[in-house]
Amino acid sequence: MLRVAYFSPMPPSKSGIADYSEALTAEMAKLAEVKIFVSGEGFDPKAFDIPLYHLGNNPWHDFAYETALRHPGIAVMHEGNLHHLIAHLTIKRNDWDAYLAECELNGGPAALAFARDRVRTLRAGPDYDGLAMTRRLLDASRGVVVHSEFVARQMREQGFTGPIATIPHGAWIPRTDRNATRHELGVDETTPLVGAFGYLKPYKRIAESLRALRRLVKLDPRVKMILVGEPHPEFHVEQLIATLGLRDHVRVIGYAPIAKFVDYMGACDIILNLRYPTVGETSGSLTRALGMGKAVIVSDVGSFAEYPDDVCLKVPAGPDHPEEEDLIFEYLNVLVSRPDLARTMGERARQWVERECNWTRVAERYVGFLEGFRDGGAPAVARASVETVVEAREASADPDQPEKAEAPAAADHLPEPLAEQPATGYVKPVEPEAISAWVAPEAKSYAAQHTSRFVRTLEMTPAGDPSKAVLEMGAYMQITPALHYKLGYGTVRGCYYGEAGQTDHKRITSENGEQFECDVDLFDAEKDAFPYVDESFDTVLCCELIEHLPSDPMHMMGEINRILKPGGHLLLTTPNIGSLRAISAILQGYHPSFFPAYIRPRKPGEEAEARHNREYVPMEIQFLLEVAGFEVVKLETGEFLDEPHPEFAWVEHLLERYLVHKTLRGDGIYALGRKTGPVKERWPGWLYS
C-alpha cells in the first residue's frame, strides 16, 4: 500500500485547509497508509513513498513549506500566490536578506530593486499581488496538485514544467436544521436571508454587497443579511453598516466555530461568495454552500469562473466592471422575488457537487496521482497545459459528430469506471396477474392489499436469464414464481428465518396449472453465515425484512455483499418512517411507525410475525448501501396501496412553508444497489452505539 507523509495544518487550526485536510485524510486512509505531520519534526523520508505538502498563503503553512524545500515531494497549491507566507518566513523573522533573495528569484532585477529601495526602507508595502513568490517551492517539487485550471496555468507561467494534477476541491454536504438556526437568529421561516462567509476583508466585496442590499431592502423590507467570519481590523464593517442605514437588516456574527459556521450557512437562502482580486484560491465555504443546495452568487474571476453556469450566478468584478454593484442587486432581487428559481439553482448545485466533488472521488484522484511517484518515479505523461489540450481537441474534432466530454488527463491516474449495466436490465411493466395467479387461496386477501408493492418490487428488479441466479430473502412465495416466469432467472432460491442447516422444499401450482418449485434455506440473517459460497448470486431481494432485525443489520448486509457477484444487485425495500403518513401521525400525537405493537404470546407451535424493531428513512438506506459496498442505482419511495392521500396535503404545505424537502415521502422505500467492492464499514456510527 502506498505510504504518504501528509503535511498540513489540522483542526483546531483556523486555516480552512485544516478542515479540508481532516476530510481528505479520512478518505485517503482507506486507500493508502497516511501519516499526518503538523510540524517538520520526526519526519523520516525513507519511511514513505512520497510526501504531500499542502500550501496556503498564510503562516499556518510555514512548516510544510520549509520541509518541502528540504525533502521534495508533491506540492498542493491551494492558491497561486505565497507572498504572505514568504513574508512571514523572512520579514517577520527580521531576515531581510532572505526576503530580497526571494524577490530577485521570483521577479528579477526590477522586483529586487523595488524590495530593496521601497519595501526594505518601509516606504511601501510588499508587492503581494504582483509577486507570487512560488518559484523556490516549484523548483523543488516533483509534482503539483491544483484545484482549478486557472491555478494550473499560473503554475506553468511561474515556471513549473513537471506533472500537474487538477483535482476538484472536495465538498462537504452537511445536514443542518435551517429552522432551528433561524429561530436562534430571530428570523422566521419566510424571511429572505442572505449570507456572506469567511474572513471579512474588503476583497470579499462586502462594501459592494452592502450597497446592493441597501437598494434591495427598499423593494423588500423583509430581507436580512448575516456576515459570518472574523472582521478585518482595517475594514470597519460595523461603521459601514451604520452609514448605509442597514443596522436593522444586517448582523455581524463574527468568527464562528465550524459547526456553527455551517449551521448559519444552512439557515440562509442565498450565499454571496464574491472576491476581487484573486490569486486562484478555491473556497471551501463555496463548495459547502453549493453542496447544501444554496443559491450562490460568485465573482466571475479566477477559479470561480470555472464553475458551471447553471449552478451559480457570476458577477464580473474589478475596475473594468462598474456594473458589479448593479448586477449583485439584480441577482439578489431575482432570487428573493423568485424563491422557486433560487431553490432550483440550489438543487442543480447540490447534484453537481455530489457527482463531481465528493471526498471519495477526490481521495481516489489524489492517491492515483501519487502512485505515479512511487519508487522515485513520476507519472509517465505529465498533464498538458490547458491551451494544448484545447488545441488538440479542436484539431481532432469531427464537425459532424456531437461534442463529447473531455477525458481526464493521463497524469491523473483515475481508476477505471465500472461497466455500465445495460438499459434493458429492468422489466416494465409487470402485470398484477403475474403475482395473483400464484397466490394460495388463504393469502389472496393480503396479496390483494399489497399488489402495488409487489409489482413495484418486480419492476425494480434487474432482469435475469437462464444463466443467472436470484435469492429472495424472507420468501413468502408471493413474488417468487415471477422471478423465474416473468424476469427469467434460471436459478431461484429463497431463505427464511429458522434453525440453520434446514431447507424447506416449496411447491406451488398456478391458476393455470403451471408448477413452480423452490428450495428455501433456514437461518438467522443477522447471526448465521449464509449457506452459500462467495459470489453465488447475480441478484438478492431483501424485501420488508430489515425493519424486523433486532440487533445487527450490518451482519446481514456483509453476507449479502459476500454472496453477490461483482456488479451484482441488491433490491432492498422497507417502510419509510419519514413518510407524510408518519409526519402526520407524530404531529397529531400518534406513533409514526407502521408496526410499533408488541406481539401477544401465541399458542405452542403457532408461528408469530416478528414485530418491527427499527424503521428507516431513505437517507439511512442510502448510507446503509454505501457502507456495505454498494453504489445506489435507484432510490425512491411509493405507497404500499395505490390510493390518493388528500388528508396529508396539510403536511406537504407545512414542509413547503418551512423549506423542508417533500421528496421521498411515500410509505415504502425501494432501493436498488450495485456491488462495487467489499464492505467499507462494519459498525457505522449512525447505526450502532
**Residue 14: its pLDDT value, please?**
75
Task: Find where cell 429458522 sits.
Answer: 498
pLDDT (0 to 100) of residue 234 = 85
Question: Is 510 or 619 the better-scoring residue by pLDDT?
Answer: 619
C-alpha–C-alpha distance, residues 79 and 301, integer Å: 13
Question: Which three-class secondary structure state does DSSP give residue 270?
Answer: strand
Lowest mean pLDDT of 403-407, 449-453, 593-597, name the range.
403-407
> Higher model confidence: residue 598 or residue 120?
120
* Mean pLDDT, residues 335-364 taken together: 94
3-state secondary structure of 262: helix
Read off the pLDDT band of 444 (50, 70, 90): low
Q: In CATH, what number does 178-351 get?
A: 3.40.50.2000
Q: Give the C-alpha distances (Å, rounded to integers) separating 297 from 34, 87, 169, 232.
A: 36, 32, 18, 22
Distance CA 373, CA 3 (A): 11
Q: Which residue has the cell 532585477?
A: 109
Closest by CA to 549, choosing from 572, 580, 581, 582, is 572
pLDDT-derived band of residue 383, with 50, 70 and 90 as boundaries?
A: very low
Phi-psi region of 629 (alpha: psi -120 to 50; beta: other; left: phi over 0): left
**Looking at residue 389, what is its pLDDT?**
30
Rounded mean pLDDT of 424-435? 63
DSSP tag of 446: H
Higher pLDDT, 454 or 555: 555
- Where residue 443 falls among pLDDT bands split at 50, 70, 90? low
Cα dist from 47 to 40, 325, 367, 404, whole Å: 14, 54, 17, 43
* Burial (CB count <10 Å: 0-12, 13-18, 19+), residue 1: exposed
Domain ranges in the chain are 1-82+134-170+358-417, 178-351, 430-675
H/E stretch holding 389: helix 386-396
For residues 391 and 150, give the distance between their C-alpha atoms in angstroms, rounded to a whole number.
17
Banded pLDDT at 512 (limits 50, 70, 90):
confident
Contact of 144 with 163, CB cutoff 8 Å: yes
Helix, strand, coil shares of the chain as percentages rounded to 5? 40, 20, 45
Q: Which fold has domain 1-82+134-170+358-417?
A: Rossmann fold (3.40.50)
pLDDT tens digit string along 251-290? 999 999 888 999 999 999 999 999 998 877 788 889 999 9
In angstroms, the CA 37 to CA 7 distance is 5
pLDDT over 70, % of the chain:
90
- pLDDT tens string 300-316: 998 899 999 999 999 99
Average pLDDT over residues 630-646: 84
225 and 196 Cβ atoms separated by less than 8 Å: yes
- Range scoring the smallest mean pLDDT among 41-55, 551-565, 647-661: 647-661
pLDDT score of 630: 97
pLDDT confidence band for 441 (50 / 70 / 90): low
Q: Is the pLDDT of residue 415 over 80?
A: no
pLDDT of 138-182, one tens digit each?
Answer: 999 999 999 999 999 999 999 999 999 999 999 888 889 999 999
Q: What is the pLDDT of residue 395?
A: 41
How much is the pLDDT for 608? Answer: 62
pLDDT at residue 414 tops 50: no
Q: Give the CATH number of domain 430-675; options: 3.30.300.30, 3.30.465.10, 3.40.50.720, 3.40.50.150.
A: 3.40.50.150
**Cα atoms in the 13 Å half-sphere on the side-chain side of 506:** 20
pLDDT exceeds cutoff 70 at 80: yes
When comparing pLDDT for 402 and 35, which is higher? 35
Indicate if the pLDDT at residue 476 is higher than 90.
no
* Mean pLDDT value across the chain: 89
Q: Which range, 12-21, 179-188, 412-421, has the best average confidence (pLDDT)?
A: 179-188
Of 412 and 653, the one with more pLDDT: 653
Q: Residue 392 corresponds to which cell in the numbers above?
A: 488538440
Q: Is the pLDDT of residue 203 over 70?
A: yes
Which H or E element spans position 138? Answer: helix 135-140
> Is-same-fold flag (178-351; 430-675)?
yes
